[in-house]
């Protein structure tokens, strides 16, 4: 897999803290462009080194209701050289609605300076077939909730084409004003395909960009 930019390359020990510790923003990194980055991901087990701990699946899984075999949708933990990854497969044309999602809510920083999240991930996609509607895609869905558990909004990253080789991506997502926690899913929404994913991180960032 490609390497991330040097300014985001951090000692691996920083990413082994427990989720509760990940909310502490005392130790931050000043980036050359003036942004301030929290070095620890607030998403537990985003590299899947602990298997599927903290994740679950939903949608068309298990035995078909008509008793005619299994849905062709599943997920598995694999090894690729030095990396642990999750492979999410949704290849059943009759069950094109399959997601892997975090079991627990992801607390967001209370420091109002950190109203953005830097999402980083390594991925590849094969056999992607979009559905008939514009939103029938493979997507990352970060759902925002307020302190009372009311859903505020979604941040969505859509994938519409195959990516045959390991690719590293990063993007800054704006956290809504009243969001207290988030839920994350990887979703084939009315689409089919296979995605391999690892090194998934959500890092709070205080950005100078408007």
Q: Where are the alpha helices (DSSP H) in the chain?
A: 19-22
The pLDDT assigned to 78 comes to: 94
3 state SS of 190: coil
Question: Is CATH 3.40.50.700 the right assignment for the domain spanning 33-206?
Answer: no
Place of tokens 């991330």: 4
**CB 42 within 8 Å of CB 203:** yes
The pLDDT assigned to 32 comes to: 77
pTM exceeds 0.75, yes or no: yes
pLDDT one digit per residue (tens) for the chain, 210 residues: 443 332 232 332 333 333 333 344 567 877 777 788 888 999 999 999 999 999 999 999 989 988 989 999 999 999 888 889 999 999 999 999 999 999 999 999 888 888 999 999 999 999 999 999 999 999 999 999 999 999 999 999 999 999 999 999 999 999 999 999 999 999 999 999 999 999 999 999 987 765
- Which tokens is 22 given? 């990940």
The pLDDT assigned to 210 comes to: 57
- Which tokens is 144 given? 């925002």
Distance CA 102, CA 53 (A): 9
CA dihedral for 40, 41, 47, 50, sign (positive or negative): positive
Distance CA 197, CA 194 (A): 10
The pLDDT assigned to 129 comes to: 98
Distance CA 165, CA 135 (A): 25
**CB 15 within 8 Å of CB 4:** no
The pLDDT assigned to 89 comes to: 97
The pLDDT assigned to 28 comes to: 80
The pLDDT assigned to 206 comes to: 86
Length of the chain measured in residues? 210
Domains of the chain: which residue ranges?
A: 33-206
48, exposed or middle or buried, with CB in 10 Å at 0-12, 13-18, 19+? buried
Of 79, 25, 70, 28, residue with least CA distance to 49: 79
The pLDDT assigned to 8 comes to: 31
Distance CA 142, CA 137 (A): 15
């Amino acid at each position: 897999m490609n390497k991330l930019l040097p300014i985001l390359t951090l000692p691996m020990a920083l990413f082994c803290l427990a989720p509760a510790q990940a909310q502490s923003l005392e130790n931050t990194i000043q980036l050359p462009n003036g942004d301030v980055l929290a070095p620890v991901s607030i998403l537990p087990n985003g590299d899947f080194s602990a298997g599927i701990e903290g994740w679950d699946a939903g949608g068309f899984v298990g035995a078909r209701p008509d008793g005619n075999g299994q849905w062709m949708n599943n997920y598995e933990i694999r090894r690729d050289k030095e990396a642990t990854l999750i492979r999410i497969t949704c290849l059943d044309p009759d069950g094109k609605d399959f997601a892997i999602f975090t079991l627990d809510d992801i607390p967001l920083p209370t420091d109002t300076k950190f109203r953005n999240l830097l999402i980083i991930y390594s991925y590849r996609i094969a056999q992607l077939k979009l559905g008939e509607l514009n939103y029938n895609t493979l997507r990352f869905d970060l759902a925002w909730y307020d302190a009372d558990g009311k859903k505020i909004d979604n941040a969505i990253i859509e994938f519409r084409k195959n990516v045959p080789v390991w690719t590293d991506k990063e993007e800054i997502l704006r956290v809504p004003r009243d969001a207290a926690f988030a839920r994350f899913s990887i979703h084939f929404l009315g689409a089919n395909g296979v995605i391999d994913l690892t090194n998934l991180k959500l890092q709070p960032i205080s950005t100078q960009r408007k």
